[in-house]
Structure 1
Amino acid sequence: MSFIRSLTEHRASARCLTLAQLAPRGAWQLSLLHDRAQHLLIWTTKGQGRVTVEGVRRGVSVHNALFIPAGTLFAYEIGAQGFGLALEVPTSLPLAYPGEPHHLRLRDNMAQAEITGILEAMQREQSRGQSLMAEAQAAHAALASVWLRRQIDGPAGRARRVTAAEAMVQDYCRRVAAGFRSDRLPGDYAEDLGVPMAELDRACRDVAGRSAAEILTERVLHEARTMLARPGITASDAAERLGFASPSYFERYLDHHGGRTPRAPRRAATGS
């Protein structure tokens, strides 16, 4: 049995989506900090915006490739005129994608054409709905993996120096991604990191443009909205799963934050 055909034994398949398809319920699905169960390769082809990956915020523009491993806290914000494609790869597919995030600014025309061609071929495959589609999509996802690793090894993948503040915020964001369903507050994470809460908060504001409490709140709010959009999930169910003391407090929390990016600390706490 061929390697590519063996990939189709896995129930989940890779697929290519537009940015709009990646956030069908609204821009908040990308603009609020969250993590996903699949690897994402986002290829921006039009417009400018900002991306925050593990708490480090940077600008994003045309011909930027973003690789976000599954479970990585991130937010992607782009203007109304922005456009891009995203490759969604289930972790169950045994493909050699990197274990860490990458932000590549590509200047090589050949590299730009290659990834555009791979993603557009996936779109055509999906629109036709022909037999053996899962096998074809696995082949395209494998090619995208090769393309990505080649770019990381090339000039576009030269690693930049990570500052001490960035390293602290990255560590904090990893802990938030793993533990946001608990009743832990930013002060608890600061204690785990062995730093004063004021130092963590200052680093978060400088690196992520958000306070430590706002980072945690965004992740909780994204999950709450996602849960409540699912059929059969009540506010009481979501409150329990997210570690809120009561459904009534959970509903006040949602009312307070509404449809905007949250600014208040979680659990009505100061974050200390």
Structure 2
Amino acid sequence: MNMMSTPNPALALATLSFSGPNARWRTEAMRSHATGRLIHITKGQGRITVAGLTNGYGPNNLIYIPPHTMYGLEVGPTVFAQILTLPDTTGWPDASFHLRLLDVDPQKELVTLMEAIERELQPNGDLRAAHCHFGLLSIFVERQLATRDPATADARRKTAAAKLVARYTTLIAQDVRSDRSVASYAASLGVTPTHLARSCRKTCGRSALSLLNDRVHYEACTLLKDTDLPVKMIAQRLGFRSPAYFTRSFQEKSGQAPRDFRRRSIGFSRP
């Protein structure tokens, strides 16, 4: 009798690579997840926005996205990366982190761990072994974080603007299926819409409205792609005043009507 329990099967690994201009929403549009994500950049460079703060990334970078944290990243033609869905973030930091591995030894160690997880997640692999390698990966991350200089690590995140925008994006993630306006969020944060907009421009070069609309757009894309819900019902779920207004807004953002997007998105997967 096998007395060993099966680990949580939520551990998953997906590839991030350039999918063409019509599929940029799959990586660039702001999104958030109930579970954490770990992004390993192996090739190329670009920009990533996490909790409203934009930074550049390059090869041998490791980026942690905590649960319910808004993020989006540019994935150009030269970029190759992997995104790991974490089954459990107990013991992981509450805030995101961005590790830039400069030495060859940790670079090789990380690649070895990721390859081991990928191998064990294959149909002929062993899920228990994958979770064991994930445990080793968490130890690797803990050791790398311990080597960082606390005085310089994530200094930009400690600014007043970054803290405000992080709180703003957290509220958006919580209320994405509402019709709340930027003014409503600003009131909840105790600031004026102008001050919130100025802070967003400072941290990520985008307006507060752009961040909000981008998160709603991603939600619309996933509902269109992953469900059979009528466009009318999707518009209602996302807080739009009417299906016509939703269709117009979606077309302005994506260049195509919701029904056309749904038809062309069949066969794509998302991280």
Q: Do Structure 1 and Structure 2 share a fold, with TM-score over 0.5?
A: yes
Which of 198, 204, 207 lines up with 2:200 in the alignment?
Answer: 204
Q: 2 CA distance for matches of 1:84 and 1:253?
A: 31
Matched with 1:193 is 189
Distance 1:200 1:33, change over 3 A: same
TM-score (norm 2): 0.85
Alpha-carbon displacement from aligned partner over 1:137-184 (angstroms, at most 9, x marks no partner): 111211111111111111277523311111111111111111121111
Any conservation in 1 of the 2:46–2:57 contact (CA below 8 Å)? Answer: yes
Matched with 1:68 is 65
Secondary structure of the 1:181 match is: coil
Which of 92, 107, 124 lines up with 1:112 in the alignment?
Answer: 107
Matched with 2:266 is none
Instruction: Flag structure 2 segments of 5+ consecutive residues without an equivalent.
Output: 257-271
Instruction: Flag structure 1 segments of 5+ consecutive residues without an equivalent.
Output: 261-272
Which of 214, 218, 239 lines up with 1:218 in the alignment?
Answer: 214
Any conservation in 2 of the 1:104–1:156 contact (CA below 8 Å)? Answer: no
Q: 2 CA distance for matches of 1:64 and 1:36?
A: 21
Any conservation in 2 of the 1:33–1:215 contact (CA below 8 Å)? Answer: yes
**Residue 22 (structure 1) shift:** 11
Which of 10, 15, 20 lines up with 2:12 in the alignment?
Answer: 15
Counterparts of 1:28-177 in structure 2 under 5 Å? Answer: 28-90=25-87, 93=88, 95-127=90-122, 129-130=124-125, 133-155=126-148, 159-161=153-155, 162-177=158-173
Q: 2 CA distance for matches of 1:156 and 1:234?
A: 51
Distance 1:197 1:144, change over 3 A: same
Distance 1:210 1:197, change over 3 A: same
Amino acid at match of 1:160: D
Secondary structure of the 2:78 match is: coil
Amino acid at match of 1:98: P
Coordinate RMSD, CA, aligned: 2.4
Q: 2 CA distance for matches of 1:74 and 1:181?
A: 17
Secondary structure of the 1:38 match is: coil
Q: Which runs of 4+ in 1 moved over 6 A?
A: none
Q: 2 CA distance for matches of 1:67 and 1:38?
A: 11
Distance 1:196 1:181, change over 3 A: same
